[in-house]
Chains A and B, each alone.
Chain A
Amino acid sequence: MTQPDLRVTIGGLVFKNPVLTASGTFGYGKEFAPYVNLHHLGGIVVKGISLEERRGNPPPRIVETTGGMLNAIGLENVGLERFIAEKMPYLRGIGTRVIVNILGNSLEEYQRLGQRLSEIEGISALEVNISCPNVKKGGVAFGTDPAMAEAVTRAVCAHSSLPVIVKLSPNVNDIAQIARAVETGGAQAVSLINTLLGMAIDVKSRRPKLANIVGGLSGPAIKPIALRMVWQVAQAVKIPVIGIGGITTTEDALEFLLAGATAIEVGTANFINPRASQEIVEGLARYVTDNRLNNISEVIGELVLA
């Protein structure tokens, strides 16, 4: 029997399957090596990298909610040069595509990140984070204004030879409009959604449960919203869409593919079931075999209406 064909193409790159791991939920890959055969995955998106090392927000940083969790990590990361020196040697050997999520405070910072990472061997693509709700400067400021989103995309594309994926914020009025703007800016793909801005209060102390007061909601609770947005964006742009938001099972992944996503990212599920991403790869393979498909891409956008 031949291996089920799960290959998908994004930004001219062939991925062995459409299952990636979402930035900030999979460390720098190594953390999950005891649990997952990393080379079985379509790719991994590493923790967001900024030019300088970031300390992140003060604790408490996370809180569990019904069907989800709020986080306000604040993009704690080792910084660009330490990432290249300390994390890339391991990542080059994992046998799957490495996508680096980048975050800047200014257009110039995004440019410098794109430029420097293009010189580094072993990186397949960039995911430009214009959607983190937990930092004061940059991040979401770029992701909520179509003109700014387009400008950031243009800046990174002009200074980088790597395919550029732009990660979109759901905390906007019209996500399709932002998606069209980054497509115009030259993005090869969009990924969505980042977390939804939320809040939780301890009624005993009457204080917010997060030191940052507000944080990003992720997990199964946000899946219907993410799915709706992926469907809307897939109608609005010609570039591939990568679906993110509460995916924990193969069935969840298939829903996103049917809604028009070319690939998906597994996020919060990694914390609870460290093998979730690999199990979804295996589940999609069974689906292709059971339904006698030639390739998983035969389900992409095949939502049946009426």
Chain B
Amino acid sequence: MNQCEEQAEIVRNEQLAPEIFRLTLTAPEIAWHAHPGQFVMARISPCYDPLLRRPLSIHQTIGSHQIQLLYKVVGKGTRILASLSPGQKLNLTGPLGHGFDLAGTQAVCLVGGGMGIAPLYFLAKEIMRATTPPKCIVLLGARTAVEFGPLPQDFIDIGVTKIYLATDDGSLGHHGYIAELLHQHLDFHPWTVYTCGPHPMMKAVVSQCRKQGWECQVSLETMMACGIAACLGCAIPRADLSGPYLHVCKDGPVFKAEEVAWL
């Protein structure tokens, strides 16, 4: 078990879009052990208000010492995160959970929506690092163009050549849902599709993969209190809706699409 508690020091807390931030931290222990798809639990307040830690996917590691987290301001906790400045400390536990499985992939497609793009960038970096990277297509969705910030360019900068965007309002790329682009860009190769984003988006992606026979891995998000399988708050039903629940913090957050129920 390589997880630990670390007093991470904030290097940068950049605003990428009106409510979207990218936090760079010095966290050598976590950076060293992290795999794409894993997450950290951030203790927002040294007091107990807000009470619980917040789960955040690791957006990337930089060198052997830094990690980046991507977050959107949605409530009290993330508003406090957005107010943190360089030099301040943020207590993290991690790296936690079971990440993406990269074994034996020949052609990969990464489908991310909104903050679901966060773990896919770490995954893309890992994929592009190979001496002969597999064929790689990246599909990214957002509500509106400005919410992408610099993220599409980040994928291009690490060597991703096939990247397609979609926005709900049509302000950039395809006007509509990103899942609608899958069949346009994927031929009948044995694709491995990795997806993270809002539940309806992932559900649509999973449904297409099932039809085409493509392998699909999904990164899920739930409420959780501890991140280490003690509270058992992050239960989700298995595909057949029977047997013991799966726990997102330990069995996931990345699952094979066919393991979980798509309700």
Contact = CB atoms under 8 A, between A and B. Distances in A.
Contacts of A35: 4-5, 93
Contacts of B244: 53, 55, 76
Interface stretch (A97-105, A111-119, A156-164, A268-276): A268-276
A275 B61 CA distance: 26
Given A35-B5, A59-B235, A61-B233, A27 B48 contact: no
Nearest to A75: B232
A25 B50 CA distance: 18
Contacts, number: 101
A59 B1 CA distance: 27
Contact of B232 (A61, A248, A270, A275): A61
A89 interface: no
Contacts of A34: 1, 3-4
A27 B227 CA distance: 12
Contact of B245 (A33, A56, A271): A56
B224 interface: yes
Nearest to B244: A55
Interface string A14-56: 0000000000111100011111000000000000000001011
B49 interface: yes
A270 B226 contact: yes
Contacts of A220: 48, 51
Interface residues of A, number: 38
Contacts of A32: 228, 230
Contacts of B231: 24-25, 62, 71, 73, 271
B72 interface: no
Contact of B222 (A59, A248, A269): A59
Interface string B223-260: 11110111111111100000111000000000000000
Contacts of A61: 223, 232-235
A33 B228 CA distance: 11
B52 interface: yes
A66 interface: yes
A262 to B, nearest CB: 25
B98 interface: no
Given A272-B225, A274-B5, 17 more contacts: A24-B231, A27-B229, A27-B230, A31-B228, A32-B230, A34-B3, A56-B245, A60-B222, A61-B235, A62-B231, A64-B50, A64-B51, A64-B52, A68-B51, A73-B233, A219-B51, A272-B48
Interface of B: 1, 3-5, 43, 48-53, 93, 222-226, 228-237, 243-245
